[in-house]
Amino acid sequence: MKPLIAISPSSSPSVLRKSRLSPYIFTLLAFTLFVAVLYGEDFMCMFDRELQLSSVSTWLLSTTERKSGEAGSLPFAIGTLEEGCDIFRGRWVRDESTRPHYEESDCPYIQPQLTCQAQGRPDKKYQFWRWQPHGCNLPSFNATLMLETLRGKRMMFVGDSLNRGQFVSMVCLLQSAIPEGAKSMETFGSLTVFTAKDYNATIEFYWAPFLLESNSDDAIVHRISDRIVRKGSINKHGKHWKGTDIMVFNTYLWWMTGLKMKVLKGSFDDEAKDVVELSTEDAYRMGMKSMLRWAQRNMDPSKTRVFFVSMSPTHGKSIDWGGEPGGNCYNETAMIEDPNYWGSDCRKSVMRVIGEVFGKTKVPITLLNITQLSSYRKDAHTSIYKKQWSKLTAEQLANPASYADCVHWCLPGLQDTWNELLFTKLFYP
């Protein structure tokens, strides 16, 4: 497996020239921003704090209910849940008999960024939690049903490394039901394809961290600073998504530069680039609208389903949950108990944009609102138990929190729950 995030200052000479920084300074700057992205939620929270989240969410929920209410006719539906049950409101319940769904060592497709046990994580408690909605029970994940449903079909995850984690989780949930030799995983540039041969089914992941074309689109060497996203460019990637039966989008973290977002009009090949700066919210709204337009033009609502996974929370600052200053998710083995815990405010303003855009659209898209339930799970990150791509310095080793990853999640773990919720919304909309 290749690193998901790598830094190559030589990957875009034109930007280098323009920036008039020496490659060395550029690398340093890039690295600083990279660290800032991973660990500094301060960087992400520089816009719009005052919100009426609750009114937005009530409105959005009623929209979603209305859409699913119209349809026993929704494709793939086989039943319904208790009337009005919001599966995203609930609590975590300890469950040692049915969790985890699989053993880390039994799923060969997990990349070494997420194999926490193999990378030395000493505790396992994070694997034994089940999500229990307040209003109903979740149906149990049935791999055979999922595979039968996917027979002759394509399911595709499109987005960033968090979506890749959810894709891998889905593959792990299904792969044990497929015999050796009848399954494979291959990568072609931005596209990774898991094939279940006997089912003629594929589950795919397409790397597009902004969904739109950007200068961060290389699946291996991503640009991590000075990001530019191109307006109106979703077909650049979207042409590779056509013919998909079940789409699962996400996009969030890469928009959170902490600065205004640079948006390119015209083409990346233009000599004189026409770049405007938008607030993070406005830029994100543009991305959401492009996604919905793409879905409207390319997905047949009578045969296909489209999902959007809300923001995956990070746990980079322990003061957010009343911990010691300077700490983060490192050494956290218990979840946050406060049911009202939300974390940093900027997630709310992004949630509001999602609510506004989804509330107005006629495109049937299902929101997987995993943000709140995941925000409790400071125990579930990969932390320092992931493959490190560069040699750690003595200084870092002396202070493990300094290199803990509080963005991504161990597998098996939290993201299996996201897929149980996807399973639920697919079959019991």
**Contacts to ligand NAG by CB under 6 A:** 53, 56-57, 60-61, 88-89, 142, 144-145, 148, 152-154, 200, 331, 351, 354-355, 369, 371-372
Please say which residue, 38 or 150, places its beta carbon nearer to ligand NAG: 150
Please say which residue, 106 or 148, places its beta carbon nearer to ligand NAG: 148
Q: Is 405 a known active-site residue? A: yes
Cβ contact 126:196 at 8 Å? no
Please say which residue, 68 or 372, places its beta carbon nearer to ligand NAG: 372
Cβ contact 172:107 at 8 Å? yes
Task: Please tell me which residue in 245, 349, 408, 416 is annotated as part of the active site.
Answer: 408
Cβ contact 309:315 at 8 Å? no
CA separation, residue 55 to residues 102, 134, 254, 281, 359 (Å): 39, 20, 27, 18, 12
User: What is the closest distance, in whole angstroms, from the C-beta atom of residue 277 to ligand NAG in the complex?
Assistant: 27
Please say which residue, 275 or 397, places its beta carbon nearer to ligand NAG: 397
Task: Please tell me which residue in 12, 161, 310, 318 is annotated as part of the active site.
Answer: 161
Nearest to 380 by CA among 370, 369, 390: 370
User: What is the closest distance, in whole angstroms, from the C-beta atom of residue 372 to ligand NAG in the complex?
Assistant: 4
User: What is the closest distance, in whole angstroms, from the C-beta atom of residue 353 to ligand NAG in the complex?
Assistant: 10
HEC secondary structure over the chain: CCCCCCCCHHHCHHHHHHHCCCHHHHHHHHHHHHHHHHHCHHHHCCCCCCCCHHHHHHHHHHHHHHHHHCCCCCCCCCCCCCCCCCCCCEEEEECCCCCCCCCHHHCCCCCCCCCCCCCCCCCCHHHCEEEEECCCCCCCCCHHHHHHHCCCCEEEEEECHHHHHHHHHHHHHHHCCCCCCCEEEEEECCEEEEEEHHHCEEEEEEECCCCCCECCCCCCCCCCCCCEEECCCHHHHHCCCCCCCEEEECCCHHHCCCCCEEEEECCCCCCCCEEEEECHHHHHHHHHHHHHHHHHHHCCCCCCEEEEECCCCCCCCHHHHCCCCCCCCCCCCCCCCCCCCCCCCHHHHHHHHHHHHHHHCCCCCEEECCHHHHHCCCCCEEECCCCCCCCCCHHHHHCHHHHCEEEEECCCCHHHHHHHHHHHHHHCC
Nearest to 81 by CA among 90, 414, 362: 90
Please say which residue, 148 or 274, places its beta carbon nearer to ligand NAG: 148
Task: Please tell me which residue in 217, 226, 379, 405 is annotated as part of the active site.
Answer: 405
User: What is the closest distance, in whole angstroms, from the C-beta atom of residue 141 to ligand NAG in the complex?
Assistant: 10
User: What is the closest distance, in whole angstroms, from the C-beta atom of residue 426 to ligand NAG in the complex?
Assistant: 13
Please say which residue, 153 or 425, places its beta carbon nearer to ligand NAG: 153
User: What is the closest distance, in whole angstroms, from the C-beta atom of residue 36 to ligand NAG in the complex?
Assistant: 23
User: What is the closest distance, in whole angstroms, from the C-beta atom of residue 39 to ligand NAG in the complex?
Assistant: 16
Q: Is 68 a known active-site residue? A: no
The Cα–Cα gap between 85 and 292 comes to 26
Please say which residue, 110 or 335, places its beta carbon nearer to ligand NAG: 335
State the virtual CA torsion across 111, 113, 116, 118 in degrees, nearest 10.
Answer: 60
User: What is the closest distance, in whole angstroms, from the C-beta atom of residue 7 to ligand NAG in the complex?
Assistant: 28
Residue nearest to ligand NAG (CB): 57
Please say which residue, 97 or 144, places its beta carbon nearer to ligand NAG: 144
Please say which residue, 21 or 185, places its beta carbon nearer to ligand NAG: 185
Rg (CA), the chain: 21
Q: Is 86 a known active-site residue? A: no
User: What is the closest distance, in whole angstroms, from the C-beta atom of residue 331 to ligand NAG in the complex?
Assistant: 4
Tell me the catalytic residues.
161, 405, 408
